[in-house]
Structure 1
Amino acid sequence: MKILVSDDVSEKGVELLRQHYDVDVKINLDEDALVACIGEYDGLVTRSMTHVTKRVIDAAVKLKVIGRAGVGVDSIDLKAATERGIIVVNAPTSNTIAATEHTVAMIMAITRHVPQAHNSLMSGEWDRSSFTGIQLQNKTMGIIGVGRIGSRIAKRMQAMEMKVIGYDPYIPEERFKQLGMESVDLDTLLQNSDYITMHTPLTKETRGMISADEIAKMKEGVRVINVSRGKVLDIFALAEALKSGHVAGAAVDVFPEEPLTKEKNPFLGMTNVVITPHLGASTIEAQIGVSVDVATSVIAALNGEPVTSAVNMAPIPANIYTTIHPYFDLMEKMGIIGVYLADGPMKEISVEYTGELAETETGILTTAVLKGALNPILQDTVNFVNAPEVAKSRHIAVKEVKSQDSDTFLDAVTVKVATDKGQHRIVGMLFNKTEAKIVEIDEYRVDFTPEGYLLLAPHVDQPNMIGQISTILGQAGINITGMQVGKTTTTGTNIMAIAVRDDIPNDVMLKLKAIDGILDMNLINCNLHND
């Protein structure tokens, strides 16, 4: 077998591949050049510079696996690869240690004023008194998000003799006990932590979760660290708290908009903050790690072994694929909508198939629902290979029901997401076998294409509700692509479903929620999570 490496990846991974196969390294190939040569290769290893288009995949007559030396796979046409039965693998965990250690470095930097003292000495000063620090010993570290990075932070901070507490509604109590840390709610963490560090994905729940209100709940002299997602933390509210002294120090590696420009940097001139330009994964070892990890997965795939880092599914028999392949995106998006509607940790996901889908193999479609529901809430990449196991590890029951009886729609799929607080129901259909539609949410009849962002707004049935919402969105430059209004089961109330093309900033959401008569406002990101 032959492997083509089309991007500059660490030689360690290339050496590993060469122990098993003939390997050619050809860098900076454009689409035409890649199309011309790809037909002779069984495997392809890329980074972000190589675009593996449908045209490339169509020419790859021998290709069995594509390895992405990194996390994101936006440069690879997953749909085309899946249709050809080509396995696509990535390296989702290789930056874990890098991000963990960068967090520790940031914690130490703001604890002992390392950058400030360095700059002072380099400018010719000898000023010891201005840079007196504190000790980590016996302080309380609060970790928001106890996944693969947060859990490693916990171990390292425990080694520094800190008390560690954590908030993560998606981690079972048993896991907290294994880590030797206490599980608390968010308010308790904010009020009792000397240090607060964030390690969450960007979701409905985490977007803007640390704003001025949450910062006000923190104890005086707290130190705040964010090496997760920029939009989790309101950096402008943090800057104000640093100026007032309520927050003693902060370390920030990620920002709401990157690159961070001088005009949008609220920390300029401040001496009690350390900022870095998104360096969490920037280590030599991490770059070697992604190369070696993806090489290992490519070798496993070519040997016909299970590949846990696959981002698509194994080949499907042609007769089954013809029936189910139009539903893949719809199923995943229904899972995404379900988790956005969930009122707490998911306990059960049920998928009911009617019509033609009830007569065929649908396991991979149910997996697509799980992938959609789990990817927005987890740092770990969830794919068609590992989604069932991830759901099991999160104690989420999965049920599949097939029926020819339907109260409303034939050839429909119903996804039910249950939590301790209740259940939400989403019904989806394909019109003309191509056009995906959501036709019911809970007891409400709707009709929208699950693309972009969707605002669901139950409200009092009174004049000018549509006008007020439209005005606020228009003033913010946000285009409305569709809108529906229907009655709810509560007398005197309606629900509005508004489709918009772009994300809605937190300040605009606050204005919308403040409209008199709005009972709730839920922004759902219907876009697929491919990294």
Structure 2
Amino acid sequence: MRVLITDSVSEKGVDLLLEAGIEVDQKVGISEDEIVAIINRYDALIVRSQTKVTRKIIEAAGSLKVIGRAGVGVDNIDVQAATEKGIIVVNAPEGNTIAATEQTMALMLALSRHIPQAHASLVGGKWDRKTYKGVELKGKILGILGLGKIGSGVAKRALAFEMKVLAYDPYVSPEKAESMGVEMADLDTIFKEADFITVHLPLNKDTKYIIGAEEIAKMKPSVRIINVARGGVICEEALYEALKEGKIAGAAIDVWENEPCTDSPLQQLNNVVVTPHLGASTKEAQINVAIDVANEIITYAKGGKIKNAVNAPSLKPEAEEVLAPYMVLCQQLGSLISQTTSGNALSVDITYTGDIANYDVTFLTKHVLLGLLRTTLNSSVNEINAAFVAETRGLKVNETKSLDGDDYRNLVTVTVKTTAGELSVSGTVFSGDPKIIKYDGHTIDAVPEGHLLIIPHIDKPGIVGPVAMAIGENKINIAGMQVGRKSIGGDAVAVLRVDGRVPAAIVEKIAKVDGVKDVKYVHL
């Protein structure tokens, strides 16, 4: 494996890659065009925040499999373009948690006590104690937007300062917040009641300008705002106007909408504390994020499971334990259907029944699509881009969940409609092993692995013998056979598991047996 590094990262991370036998090229500061010219040689790319990994770079990357961001935010990476191409984007969300948390507290204290302004005044020869009278944190209300690792760390430290903490995070339960000593609140409540507001949200379409002129108008004149998250989460123009006109007391800004930024009007105001994106800039954090992203790439190189994939979220251990065998089943169901249907696929309906309906089944659906699409697209589709590839091919994907498992504790049913017809296959897991229990309405008990022959036929004597003879004449052993029928003398299906590939000539011979309606050779 060969890795390109285009931003400065700790040598400890580089050393880990080299010790794992991975070839590393460090070309710090090269331009987009320079990256485009060489990126096809590499399997992985590691950046920090300086390099912009654009669609142009990604489209030129014929061999790239992983993009590693030595840090948290990935707004400098075109994640959508990477996803479309099946490239995993990983980050290091925990390596700079303490650094960003402490930076938030440092800015909050500096803002409340006018420390930078007082320092500049004293250095300038003035002994001015009156101008820089501050406020205490004790007893104040802190509003935290985003209660992830950094937001939670800030809450913990704010409580130690005897602040009251309100938090907004749609993914955190009131019970979890209560266990932390935090009270959950909606945005309006925080905007109206908080004395300090700190933002710890990623930048996306939902959080862009989450604090703008309208939101600031709801705030106390004494409020102070801190942003150590991402530029663009707060509207800088609206913040500037409010600070200039004295509508709010102050702000501390570490991140900027356009970086590097040295000409923002916010930097000219005396009630603002500014820093040049130092949230992760500690010696410890830079070592940690480099080590974390290096370990992710090493894990990928060894065929292990990546923990921090941005465009392929990982399952919690307890969920993975339950769903892992169903991922295998789902991919086999998709592949089986793909190999036994004809025409262009129009839609796929996936029904999850039983206990598995309690879980996020996104991962299972991806594996159904992976099995369905990979048969025709080979390695160009993976679990990263399966949903995107399905969408671009006009394949409509529908999920249904039901807790009522009927005869089975868990059941996955995949129904695919094509221009030539419709096929439905159901499967479950027994003792950790996938099983097909229904094929086109016929009840069977088949193991979906290896070489299979799927033979729809009329239920009558004289079918099995000629089929077995045709297979045996080619010196192919039959490992097992399951037959399902709807009624005596009606439609039936046989599933034969054999020990080797069945040549097309044998498939054609079986298809000519009286009563056989169709024959499909499947390899899973």
TM-score for the superposition, normalised by structure 2: 0.54
Q: CA RMSD in A?
A: 4.9
* Residue aligning to 1:285: 284
- Contact 1:6–1:27, Cα closer than 8 Å, also in 2: yes
Displacement of 1:185: 1.6
1:432-476: CA deviations, max 9, x gaps?
Answer: xxxxxxxxxxxxxxxxxxxxxxxxxxxxxxxxxxxxxxxxxxxxx
- Contact 1:7–1:50, Cα closer than 8 Å, also in 2: no
Aligned length: 349
- Three-state SS of the structure 2 residue aligned to 1:166 is strand
- Three-state SS of the structure 1 residue aligned to 2:225 is strand
User: 1:389-428, aligned counterparts within 5 Å?
Assistant: 402-404=414-416
- Contact 2:108–2:252, Cα closer than 8 Å, also in 1: yes
- Contact 2:40–2:60, Cα closer than 8 Å, also in 1: no
Displacement of 1:227: 2.2
**1:126 correspondence with 2:127:** yes
* Residue aligning to 2:139: 138
| Unmatched segments (≥5 aa) in structure 1 | 325-330, 332-346, 371-398, 412-531
Q: Which has the higher contact order (CA 8 A, sep 6+)?
A: 1
Residue identity in the other structure for 2:188: D
**1:271 correspondence with 2:297:** no
Displacement of 1:168: 1.9
* Residue aligning to 2:10: 10
Displacement of 1:147: 1.9
1:405-424: CA deviations, max 9, x gaps?
Answer: 79x9x99xxxxxxxxxxxxx
- Contact 1:226–1:252, Cα closer than 8 Å, also in 2: yes
Displacement of 1:291: 1.2
Equivalent-residue separation in structure 2 for 1:209 and 1:102 (angstroms): 21
- Three-state SS of the structure 2 residue aligned to 1:129 is coil
| CA shift in 2, pair 1:18/1:233, >3 Å | closer
Equivalent-residue separation in structure 2 for 1:6 and 1:261 (angstroms): 24
1:251-287: CA deviations, max 9, x gaps?
Answer: 122334444463x51552x321112233323333322
* Residue aligning to 1:485: none
User: 1:367-386, aligned counterparts within 5 Å?
Assistant: none
- Contact 1:145–1:198, Cα closer than 8 Å, also in 2: yes
- Contact 1:358–1:402, Cα closer than 8 Å, also in 2: no
* Residue aligning to 1:360: 372
* Residue aligning to 1:305: 304
- Contact 2:69–2:91, Cα closer than 8 Å, also in 1: yes
| CA shift in 2, pair 1:109/1:351, >3 Å | closer
* Residue aligning to 2:96: 95
**1:186 correspondence with 2:187:** yes
1:340-372: CA deviations, max 9, x gaps?
Answer: xxxxxxx9999999xx969938997799769xx
Which residue among 74, 93, 109 is the counterpart of 2:77?
Answer: 74
- Three-state SS of the structure 2 residue aligned to 1:213 is helix
- Contact 1:208–1:232, Cα closer than 8 Å, also in 2: yes
| CA shift in 2, pair 1:299/1:350, >3 Å | closer
* Residue aligning to 1:107: 108
Equivalent-residue separation in structure 2 for 1:46 and 1:311 (angstroms): 15
- Three-state SS of the structure 1 residue aligned to 2:172 is coil
| CA shift in 2, pair 1:359/1:119, >3 Å | closer
- Contact 2:211–2:234, Cα closer than 8 Å, also in 1: yes
| CA shift in 2, pair 1:367/1:148, >3 Å | farther
| CA shift in 2, pair 1:23/1:192, >3 Å | same
Displacement of 1:320: 5.2
- Three-state SS of the structure 2 residue aligned to 1:309 is coil
- Three-state SS of the structure 2 residue aligned to 1:94 is coil
Equivalent-residue separation in structure 1 for 2:209 and 2:45 (angstroms): 39
- Contact 2:82–2:88, Cα closer than 8 Å, also in 1: no
Identity %: 42
- Contact 1:81–1:87, Cα closer than 8 Å, also in 2: no
- Three-state SS of the structure 1 residue aligned to 2:149 is coil
| CA shift in 2, pair 1:321/1:147, >3 Å | farther
| Unmatched segments (≥5 aa) in structure 2 | 315-326, 340-346, 348-358, 375-380, 389-410, 423-524
Displacement of 1:193: 1.3
- Contact 2:370–2:383, Cα closer than 8 Å, also in 1: no
1:70-99: CA deviations, max 9, x gaps?
Answer: 4547389746974xxx86644244333322
* Residue aligning to 1:238: 239
* Residue aligning to 1:490: none
- Contact 2:225–2:250, Cα closer than 8 Å, also in 1: yes
Equivalent-residue separation in structure 2 for 1:32 and 1:202 (angstroms): 26
| CA shift in 2, pair 1:364/1:174, >3 Å | farther
| CA shift in 2, pair 1:112/1:322, >3 Å | farther
1:301-345: CA deviations, max 9, x gaps?
Answer: 233322112356699999959979xxxxxx9xxxxxxxxxxxxxx
User: 1:345-356, aligned counterparts within 5 Å?
Assistant: none
Displacement of 1:154: 0.6
| CA shift in 2, pair 1:309/1:321, >3 Å | farther
Residue identity in the other structure for 2:216: I
1:7-38: CA deviations, max 9, x gaps?
Answer: 64311112333444365555468569957976
- Three-state SS of the structure 2 residue aligned to 1:149 is helix
- Contact 1:351–1:401, Cα closer than 8 Å, also in 2: no
| CA shift in 2, pair 1:81/1:245, >3 Å | closer
Equivalent-residue separation in structure 1 for 2:119 and 2:217 (angstroms): 31
Residue identity in the other structure for 1:121: L
| CA shift in 2, pair 1:165/1:360, >3 Å | same
Equivalent-residue separation in structure 2 for 1:95 and 1:364 (angstroms): 30
| CA shift in 2, pair 1:235/1:401, >3 Å | farther
Greater gyration radius: 2
Displacement of 1:199: 1.6
Displacement of 1:146: 1.5
Deviates further, 12-21 or 221-230: 12-21
* Residue aligning to 1:423: none
| CA shift in 2, pair 1:24/1:118, >3 Å | same
- Contact 1:54–1:80, Cα closer than 8 Å, also in 2: no
Equivalent-residue separation in structure 2 for 1:158 and 1:306 (angstroms): 37
Equivalent-residue separation in structure 1 for 2:274 and 2:14 (angstroms): 35
Residue identity in the other structure for 1:17: L
Equivalent-residue separation in structure 1 for 2:210 and 2:44 (angstroms): 43
- Three-state SS of the structure 1 residue aligned to 2:232 is helix
- Contact 2:84–2:385, Cα closer than 8 Å, also in 1: no
| CA shift in 2, pair 1:293/1:189, >3 Å | same
